Structure 1
Amino acid sequence: MSTTALTACTNTEKDPERYPDKYVNSEMEYKSSFGDMVEIMKSYFTTDRAEPTPTFDLPVNTITAQQLIEETEDVVYRIGHSSVIMKLDGQIVMADPVFSDRASPVQWAGPKRFHQPPISLEALPEIDVIVISHDHYDHLDKASVKALANKTSHFIVPLKVGNYLTKWGVPENKITELAWWESHEVNGIEYTLTPTQHFSGRGLTDRDSTLWGSWVIDSKEAKVFFSGDSGYFGGFAEIGEKYGPFDFTMIETGAYNKLWSQIHMFPEQSVQAHIDVKGKVMMPIHNSTFDLSMHDWHEPMNKALEISEERGVTMVSPEIGERLEILNPTPVKQWWKQ
């Protein structure tokens, strides 16, 4: 199913069913109270952790604009957390670009980066497409969007996320909004928004007012899956049936805890999600950049590797900024160990 670009500022007037006041998950209703937040904050400040942040400088490989422009293979680079740059069919595609120092409404407080991005916003070349999974601060970064507004040809986002983009300077004709299971093609690459089990909101009063999701990106040579954020649910198997197998998956593996287990996966669930969508090679994301939970910073990668080996899953772990060929990935390396 292909859609046309949908303007963001008047979308609620067009179709109340498509643009409701609140969006809901397909399998469960996620609710949290003030008491839940108090319990989370208490746990965050009282949990004893050996290494909440790295004790050494993480390896970061510098990326240049010329490198991205001249690349001829289908490749992926981790920028940090869930931010990635891909080169697919000769086009530069980004997912959830977050370049700010903190994943927070303000830059003087909140989770601070463990490392700098491997390329600056200013140094990036022209971007063909940016996809956004949802509106949380560690996935939708206002400063990054504003900087990329005039050097990106197209933004593809879940329903009503486009409202943020237009406020931040992205022209409406560059924005396409999609509902779950809808697709949009740009220069021969098809982008499909698929469900996740999560929620949205950037403040106290806008809970679930925008849609969230994952991305199926189907290019000429490679088909990839970008999970966004999600708890484990039956939707992964449905995505696998509809769109699998995938040459490469980028699966959320990090910032998990029993206090919010419905909306973020533990590593064993992340590996199972990769299996469910029928992935061939798995790259864990959503880790190693911000301290967003109560586990040690390196635990997600350690556990993902251990479980993937037990389950016969091919996992890769490129350093930040390291070039990785999607169809010919390099073996796993444990760069998170000093």
Structure 2
Amino acid sequence: MKKPFRITLYLIAFLVLLTAVAGCSLMKLSPQFGAEAEGARLERIQQSPNYANGEFRNLVETNMDLGFKGYIKLLSSRIFGDNENQTPDRKIPVRKIEADRLQRVPDSATVVTWLGHSAFLIEIDGKRLLLDPMLGNRASPLSFMGPRRFSELPVTAGEMPQVDAVLISHDHYDHLDLGSIQELAEKTEHFYVPLGLGMCH
């Protein structure tokens, strides 16, 4: 083996190792990737009838294993699939929610406001509930990559008024956004989340 070729191989191996270490460190240290449950929260999880052998299980048997062929098929459809229809061909109209409208809570009428994708503001009997407030620019743990929002928000997390409760259905990035939650933490006293999901500080 010639020396320049060997040096190139060593360099590639080093870069792969460095990337793997950086990726593992990022996932371990960054709050948007979550953390292992511990203490009282772990005990509550372990007592759930839907928890066995160190993991939650579906009530209906569901095969979650795509297998090697399934992953290859999924990856190829992402890379070589119909990319034309993955983004809108025109600007999506958005109706901004005015600040004075947000200061008024309907007393008796039920008002449901769609905030985009998974996020809804529900006002009912003088109470405000916020569902899956993904109010960030990307459905991703990283600010510089991942699916980007196609249009502006009708209201930002910072503009949101006080809400009585925030409900989170699950922890996919298109339903749960760390930045949104951190901004909303000052606007509510109650977060309702699935058992396996802990709150970030």
Q: What TM-score, normalized by structure 1, do the two folds share?
A: 0.44
1:25 to 43, 58, 63: 58
1:108-187 equivalences under 5 Å are 108-161=144-197, 163=198, 165=199, 168-169=200-201
Confirm or deny that 1:16 pairs with 2:46.
Answer: yes
| Distance in 1, Cα, partners of 2:150 & 2:46 | 42
Q: Identity of paired residues, percent?
A: 32
> 2:58 corresponds to which letter in structure 1?
N
Higher relative contact order (CA 8 A, sep 6+): 1
After superposition, the Cα gap between the structure-2 partners of 1:98 and 1:15, relative to the gap in structure 1 and judged at 3 Å, is: closer
> 1:11 corresponds to which letter in structure 2?
R
Q: Which residue of 1 aligns with 2:138?
A: 102
| Distance in 2, Cα, partners of 1:12 & 1:49 | 42
**Is the Cα–Cα contact under 8 Å of residues 132 and 169 in structure 2 kept in the other structure?**
yes
Confirm or deny that 1:51 pairs with 2:81.
Answer: no
| Secondary structure, counterpart of 2:164 in structure 1 | strand
> 1:83 corresponds to which letter in structure 2?
A
1:1-338 equivalences under 5 Å are 10-14=40-44, 16-18=46-48, 20=51, 21-33=54-66, 35=68, 36-72=70-106, 73-161=109-197, 163=198, 165=199, 168-169=200-201
Measured after TM superposition, the shift of residue 49 of structure 1 is: 4.7
| Distance in 2, Cα, partners of 1:107 & 1:15 | 31
| Distance in 1, Cα, partners of 2:150 & 2:125 | 32
**Is the Cα–Cα contact under 8 Å of residues 68 and 87 in structure 1 kept in the other structure?**
no
The answer to which structure has the higher strand fraction is 1
After superposition, the Cα gap between the structure-2 partners of 1:48 and 1:12, relative to the gap in structure 1 and judged at 3 Å, is: closer
**Is the Cα–Cα contact under 8 Å of residues 130 and 152 in structure 1 kept in the other structure?**
yes
Deviations 1:200-247 (A, max 9, x none): xxxxxxxxxxxxxxxxxxxxxxxxxxxxxxxxxxxxxxxxxxxxxxxx
Measured after TM superposition, the shift of residue 90 of structure 1 is: 1.0
| Secondary structure, counterpart of 1:86 in structure 2 | strand
> 2:192 corresponds to which letter in structure 1?
I
After superposition, the Cα gap between the structure-2 partners of 1:48 and 1:94, relative to the gap in structure 1 and judged at 3 Å, is: same
Deviations 1:94-118 (A, max 9, x none): 1000011110110111111111210
Q: Which residue of 1 aligns with 2:33?
A: none
Would you say how many aligned residue pairs link Structure 1 and Structure 2? 158
Q: Which residue of 2 aligns with 1:191?
A: none
| Secondary structure, counterpart of 2:157 in structure 1 | coil
**Is the Cα–Cα contact under 8 Å of residues 165 and 191 in structure 2 kept in the other structure?**
yes
After superposition, the Cα gap between the structure-2 partners of 1:29 and 1:149, relative to the gap in structure 1 and judged at 3 Å, is: same
**Is the Cα–Cα contact under 8 Å of residues 129 and 155 in structure 1 kept in the other structure?**
yes
| Secondary structure, counterpart of 1:135 in structure 2 | coil
Structure 1: runs of 5+ lacking an equivalent: 1-7, 170-338
Deviations 1:126-168 (A, max 9, x none): 111111101111111111111111211211111121x2x1xx2
After superposition, the Cα gap between the structure-2 partners of 1:84 and 1:46, relative to the gap in structure 1 and judged at 3 Å, is: same
Measured after TM superposition, the shift of residue 11 of structure 1 is: 1.7
Larger Rg: 2
Which has the larger displacement, 143-152 or 21-30?
Answer: 21-30
Structure 2: runs of 5+ lacking an equivalent: 1-37
Q: What is the alpha-carbon root mean square deviation over aligned residues?
A: 2.0
Q: What TM-score, normalized by structure 2, do the two folds share?
A: 0.72
Measured after TM superposition, the shift of residue 15 of structure 1 is: 6.2
Measured after TM superposition, the shift of residue 42 of structure 1 is: 0.6
| Distance in 2, Cα, partners of 1:128 & 1:108 | 32
After superposition, the Cα gap between the structure-2 partners of 1:22 and 1:58, relative to the gap in structure 1 and judged at 3 Å, is: same
**Is the Cα–Cα contact under 8 Å of residues 45 and 195 in structure 2 kept in the other structure?**
no
After superposition, the Cα gap between the structure-2 partners of 1:71 and 1:43, relative to the gap in structure 1 and judged at 3 Å, is: same
